[in-house]
Chain A
Amino acid sequence: MRANLPDKSFFVGKPVPGRADVTVIEWVASGNDGHLFRAHSNELGRDVACKIIPRNNLQHGSDGREIWRAEILKANALRNPIVVKVEHICDWPNVPMPGDAEKFEAVDCIALISEFVDGQCLKCFAADYPDEITVSFIVQWLATMLNLLFEMKQRSVNHGDMHAGNILVEDQSSYNVMGPRFVFRVTDFGVGDTTSEPRFKDDYLQLADTLAQLLRAVNYQACSPKDKFVFNVLRHHFLARHLVETDPTLDPLAKQPRDLISRLQVLDAEFEQTAAQESARLLTPFDFLSCEQIGEAAILLRALYSDRFLGLSEIESQNNVVVTGPRGCGKSTVFRSLSLDQKMRVGEAVPNQLRYLGVYYRCDDLYFAFPRYIVPNRDEALDIPIHFVTATLLARLLDSLEGWARHYFADEFSQAESKAVDALWTVLGLAPPRAPGSATFKAVVSALNKERLKASERHRFANDPKRSVGRCFGPEVLQKACGILVNNFSFCRERPIYFFIDDYSSPKVSKPLQASLNRLLMQRTSVCFFKLSTESPVSFEKHDIDGKIYVESREFILHNLGLVYLHAELEPKLTFIDDVFRRRLNTSATSFSARELQDLVGNNAKQNNNELARGIRDGDKPLLWGKETLCKLCSGDIHYLISLVGDMVRLSGGPVELAKAVEAPFKVPQATQNRAIRDAAGSFLKNLRGVPRCGIQLVAIVEAFGNVANSHLKFLDSKNEEGSPPKQATRIEPYEPFALSEDAQRLYDELLRYSVFIEDFRGKSRRGSVVPRLYLRRFLIPHFNLTFSFRDSIELEPVDFETFLLAPQSFDQKLRLKSADDAKRFEKQQNEAKNQLSLGLGGSPQ
């Protein structure tokens, strides 16, 4: 309540009584208890603040003692630099009060001369710069206030009026180039309004009130997970307990500034710990088939991650690498496991064991921000996706790097942080926030997160000429920012930065979007490398919007895990698969009587494909069992094997029933293994049918192939082989390179995308042409009653290949053999076609 205040205009232009060198220049603000003016001291040669308060508004004891004076002098004893100290207290008696001119009334005032702070009060600052009120700003502010309260507690000082109007945001940039540009200051110690309620005189309650105001200014829904976590701790712990509770038995941190500062300082670590302690546990060895399901459970991820993963060394090489492979082949597990965040969480980020700094990013984020992206009409909008991705990757890098550096290189980080941040603001072309803490990684991360939102908003109106796109980060910004980190921190110098970009796959990340982002992600530099994982070779765009074509082995290395597994020897595959199951069996919370894969499914190394094929020809369905069979079923899709063994265990009655098979060399009966293997393929086809737009066609295509291959096995023999074993084809081999129609190409791409077939584009046809070979996904082989032999192919002319894709039923009718006579006719046609070619008659045989 404003009371006893004289007319402010009375003071302007007048010298302060008792300080003849000080003249009041202009009114700045009025509070409940007095007026604040800017004044100038001729003696000091600078401006000073002059606060004028009617004596009646100041605190007095019942005996008339001037309690306020003691409070002001006590505050002057504080050494914390944020305190605005009163330099001089003067009496200004007989100041006229506004009102009836004939009935003269006057009050006695005092004038408090103090340093003039160039800046705004926090209340005005929050109103004028709402965007600057971020979670990191609030933490910085609260820590500063608690630090002051710590000293106040030591010296038994109470402010008595610590509201947002008495907290200042000072701009020091006009005189301080070394330190921070903006700092918090606290003014008006001991001059609290005598009319205030006692609860407002409690500094902690005032702090809580300001904290609540600031938190209300934060857009919670736009916050990162970490900021949301901190926001909720501030709200539920600091606001609801620590700052308002008075009984330390109810809250040990109640009004304990030192402890509260400690709590604030560990919030980042708390966030990481709560993430790492996520309750995800492996209840059975067959849980968590995909990496994403593991969630933030870092320990579990570490326990399940096998460093026997085939192709790991290529991924870790200092190259840009595009990793492709069927879903569930472990791409995400490897990428996440190699990130700095994950290594920090599992205690494997010791500097001497860390060759690079990995940042993990999953492209779901891109998919939702740029759904069905097409290149915008306006040139200035082209860089919007790069702006978004640069902001995202750099924010993640800075966040990870800060956590790691504060742990292992705290001194160097503290010393170099502000210099690096200054350079980062310059490279980013962003104005630093006009707030304390602007020279910190956290401030840059907050700003970058806002840039993400801006980019997303701009994208919605990319083609609207009425809306300005604004400046966007170019492809060079991320690289330059990484360069700044390398130049400013010695611990970054020997360690390149790896960006692990997971699921960079069309159509989710559309080809035009990839073409735009490739300008960033295909850059070759010495400071950062990009590792892209994509579902299939056709889900990655190999050029950019400038028309530049990215050539494999020059701009990037293509690492096709599907092919790696197809062509790998049995031994390394078995070693990896054994390791995967060993980890799962030993980590599982359920007591399992098996510790190794072979304890469950046994060894079956002696299976002979030719014998199996002869059996199939005789009408048998081969009994499929054993860990070698599992290995042969794997096209890299390790999650499928885990799920399959899980099915076998379920079909066997679960771990309790399995434990009863004490005498058996392995737990799951052969017939049960066989059934599970065959059922799993059926489920895959059912799910494939649910694929948007073309699921039904994909199923028809693969069924046509399976039917044809099975009929060839039954009625044709393999060429040039001793004993003339049955023809065992599980792949398609075109005779010639082919150009598909648009519709056929779309289906072809979808077949590869869902890894129904795995493409080996380095194949060589019987006619000597370089052609792609298509291998049937291994675990579909039993469904069509084929064998795991790699020897034979279904060879197709380009025209048949087109038919295969567009009219699989016709393909089936044409190439499926129904009898031995059929087979003879087929072979005759093949031979005639071959002869025509060798005679140079040309043309494709029909």
Chain B
Amino acid sequence: MNLTVQTPDEWLAALAKPGFETVTQYVMAPNDWLIVCAGFEDRALAVLQNAVSLRRPFNVLLIHYGPHFQENKSNIIRKIIQDAGINVLEVTYNRQEPAGFGSTMLEKLSGCQGRIFVDVSAMSRLLIVQALVALGTRSAGFANCFVAYAEAREYPPSQGEAEAELTKSESDPCLSILFLSSGVFDVTVVPELSSFAPTGTQTRLVAFPSLDAHHLIAIRNEIQPSRFSFIEGVPPSSQNKWRQRVISAINKLDKIPDAERFQTSTLDYRETLDCLLTLYAGHGERERLLVSPTGSKMQTVAVGIFRALIEDVQIVFPTPLSYLKPDGYTRGIGPLHLLPLAPLAFPKAQC
């Protein structure tokens, strides 16, 4: 007699989640597909370059961004693919009209007989969530799916630059600090990441504060949430620990009353996933959770996995209006990683 009744979040919370493996070589097979985004960061090329170096055939779904930035690496990626003689499909992701892209992506991958590798290194955060939700909610779920990720070597701004801006803003209440992006195009809500369950009147914003403080301002202005939970990123490198303090100061987290604050690794997605599950268990019964995936790429992967299983959570995303220094957003290529998603597929019989 089995008297256990588990909701999907409880199942996921109890699961021993796979960790990210650091890899030196991505080994692809002829039926495999690699999803690559033609972003403007150096690391946009890392996974693809590494995979083609073995000179084995595989397939690429190349995603271009719209509106286009001159610094985007579309042409370089095309050249790599062409030189390697790899089968490629191309599709454009309009950051300002992103609704339904998960379905578009699945249509493109409909013939896939092998594994799917999602390279999130240069992927828009909203697109990471859309892609993982699309894969996680299809009939095959996360079976044969992997996340590939290249860290950057440097993450601007430097501590000195950040501290200087912070000091300036403290003396002038009107000054906005702009490091990476400028302004917010819109707070984007897409139907496929919406929650339709009837909820109470309370909304809780689960946000990942970043150096771009206007992201949080825009969401607070537009959505007007009634409760706040902040998941602050803890960089793996001790040299970058200052970022957590500066981000907190820039976003004035101390002044937001009654906000819950958590700290999770910017690299180990499991900490963020567990944190989200704790938040859902604590507040999901009565509040509508709005998750704004503006943290690190790996924190965003956690959001994607979480949202693939937990449907009564709303994703809201402040789409940046423009990027201040596309060529200086991140610099260089760091270690490469791989995460198998199959163990995270919720067994349908449990539903």
Contacts and interface: CB of A to CB of B under 8 A. Distances in A.
Contacts of B288: 364, 368
Contacts of A362: 201
B214 interface: yes
A223 interface: yes
A225 B199 contact: yes
A456 B194 contact: yes
B136 interface: no
Contacts of B312: 221-222
Contacts of A689: 174, 176, 214
Given A225-B285, A689-B176, A690-B184, A244 B3 contact: yes
Interface in A331-373: 336, 360, 362, 364-365, 367-369, 371-372
B3 to A, nearest CB: 5
Interface stretch (A255-263, A290-298, A515-523, A727-735): A290-298
A209 interface: yes
B16 interface: no
A538 to B, nearest CB: 16
Contacts of A224: 197-199
Contacts of A449: 198
Contacts of A294: 226
Interface centre among A239, A294, A362, A692 (most CB of B within 10 A): A692
Interface in B190-224: 190-192, 194-203, 213-214, 217-218, 221-224
Given A336-B201, A460-B191, A693-B186, A685 B174 contact: yes
A292 B199 contact: no
Q: Which of A208, A244, A364, A365 has the most CB of B within 10 A?
A: A364
Contacts of B192: 460
B8 interface: yes
Contacts of A287: 257-258
Interface in A452-472: 452-453, 456-457, 459-460
Contacts of B4: 212
Contacts of B191: 369, 371, 456, 459-460
A695 interface: yes
A392 interface: yes
A74 interface: no
B286 A691 contact: no
Given A216-B5, A225-B198, A292-B224, A686 B183 contact: no
Most chain A beta-carbon contacts within 10 A, residue among B5, B7, B199 = B5
A371 B314 CA distance: 12
Given A232-B285, A292-B201, A453-B196, A693 B174 contact: no
B3 A239 contact: yes
Contacts of B321: 692-693
Interface in A291-307: 292-296
Given A212-B4, A244-B3, A693-B184, A293 B222 contact: no
A632 interface: no
Contacts of A452: 196, 198
B202 A692 contact: no
Contact of A235 (B5, B201, B214): B5
A208 B7 CA distance: 17
Contacts of A275: 200, 286
B217 A687 contact: yes
B202 A296 contact: yes
A362 B202 CA distance: 9
Contacts of B3: 208-209, 212, 239-240, 244
Contacts of A695: 183-184, 214
A364 B312 CA distance: 14
- The dominant DSSP class at the B interface is loop
A365 B199 contact: yes
Contacts of B69: none
Contacts of A495: none
B258 A293 contact: yes
B280 to A, nearest CB: 10
Nearest to B257: A287
B173 A692 contact: no
A395 B99 CA distance: 29
A682 B258 contact: no
B198 A683 contact: no
B143 to A, nearest CB: 22
Contacts of A368: 189, 194-196, 288, 314
Nearest to A692: B184
A368 B315 CA distance: 9
A682 B2 CA distance: 61
A755 to B, nearest CB: 12
A219 B351 contact: yes
A295 B227 contact: yes
Contact of A209 (B1, B8, B226, B351): B1
B197 to A, nearest CB: 5
A696 interface: yes
Nearest to A392: B198
B174 A686 contact: yes
Contacts of B200: 225, 275, 296
Contacts of B2: 209, 212
B165 interface: no
B218 to A, nearest CB: 5
A695 B222 CA distance: 12
B225 interface: yes
B175 interface: yes
A617 interface: no
A330 to B, nearest CB: 14
B1 A371 contact: no
A329 to B, nearest CB: 13
Contacts of B173: 679, 682-683, 686
B184 to A, nearest CB: 4
Given A239-B3, A693-B184, A295 B226 contact: yes
Most chain B Cβ neighbours within 10 Å, of A205, A229, A295 = A295
A173 B184 CA distance: 60
A459 B100 CA distance: 12
Contact of A369 (B196, B257, B258, B351): B196
A116 interface: no
B286 A296 contact: yes
Given A683-B173, A685-B174, A395 B218 contact: no
A205 B1 contact: yes
B185 A692 contact: yes
A205 B285 CA distance: 28
A610 to B, nearest CB: 29
Contacts of A235: 5
A215 interface: yes
B303 interface: no
Q: Which of A221, A395, A689 has the most CB of B within 10 A?
A: A221
A228 interface: yes
B350 interface: yes
A592 interface: no
A409 interface: no
30 contacts: A200-B1, A205-B1, A208-B3, A212-B3, A212-B5, A220-B8, A221-B311, A225-B285, A225-B286, A232-B285, A244-B3, A290-B226, A296-B200, A364-B203, A365-B199, A453-B196, A453-B197, A456-B194, A679-B173, A682-B172, A686-B174, A686-B175, A689-B174, A690-B214, A690-B217, A691-B184, A692-B185, A692-B218, A693-B184, A693-B321
Given A222-B197, A690-B221, 11 more contacts: A232-B285, A235-B5, A275-B200, A368-B314, A371-B190, A682-B173, A686-B175, A689-B174, A689-B176, A692-B222, A695-B183
Interface of B: 1-5, 7-8, 99, 172-176, 183-192, 194-203, 213-214, 217-218, 221-227, 257-258, 284-286, 288, 310-312, 314, 318, 321, 350-351
Interface of A: 199-200, 205, 208-209, 212, 215-216, 219-225, 228-229, 232, 235, 239-240, 244, 275, 287, 290, 292-296, 327, 336, 360, 362, 364-365, 367-369, 371-372, 392, 395, 449, 452-453, 456-457, 459-460, 503, 508, 679, 682-683, 685-687, 689-693, 695-696
